Amino acid sequence: MKRFNYFAYGSNMDTARMLARCPGARPVGAATLPGFRLVERLYADVEPSAGCEARGLLWSVTEADLASLDRHEGVAGGVYERLVVPVTLDGQTVGAYCYLMTEATRRVRDGIAYPRWYDAICRRGALAHRVGGFFGRIPKKRREITRKPEE
């Protein structure tokens, strides 16, 4: 069975979420996308930004998994587009599929923060796979909120 690299930088870093969508997926390891930065647009997006790197998780997926990802990422509806990008894993550059928001979606969602439930899924995946970066740490403000007994 042919396998493909897929770079996830949002909620698809979470193992449970990813396996529910893509049962053939296997985590490879934490990776970076050089020349891009993570952006909040209701859901995670990456955009070109010189000198930056977006952190995420490299998965090995099947062709059926890619078709499922296309559906979940809204490729047919023009929400995200699937591209091949160069990611760095253990000092080596490898090609990987990655989903980037389309310009039309970016215009509509620009400046909209993540819902708390989505942010929690992204952080859980990043922490479990030691991705680091934005989702790989819990901001001080968020830590204080989670310590309150009423929540």
Domain total in the chain = 1
Query: Tokens for 52?
Result: 């930056």
Q: Domain range holding 134?
A: 3-147
Q: Which CATH number covers residue 94?
A: 3.10.490.10
Q: Are 5 and 21 within 8 A, CB to CB?
A: no
Q: What is the pLDDT of residue 135?
A: 58
pLDDT digits (tens, 9 = 90+) for 82-126: 999 999 999 999 999 999 999 999 999 998 888 899 989 999 999
Q: What is the mean pLDDT of the chain?
A: 88
Q: pTM value?
A: 0.87
Q: What is the pLDDT of residue 142?
A: 38
Q: What is the pLDDT of residue 65?
A: 98
* Regions of the chain with pLDDT less than 70: 133-151
Q: What is the DSSP string of 108-131?
A: HHTTPPPPHHHHHHHHHHHHHTT-
Give the C-alpha separation, 25 to 101, whole Å: 22
Q: What is the pLDDT of residue 114?
A: 85
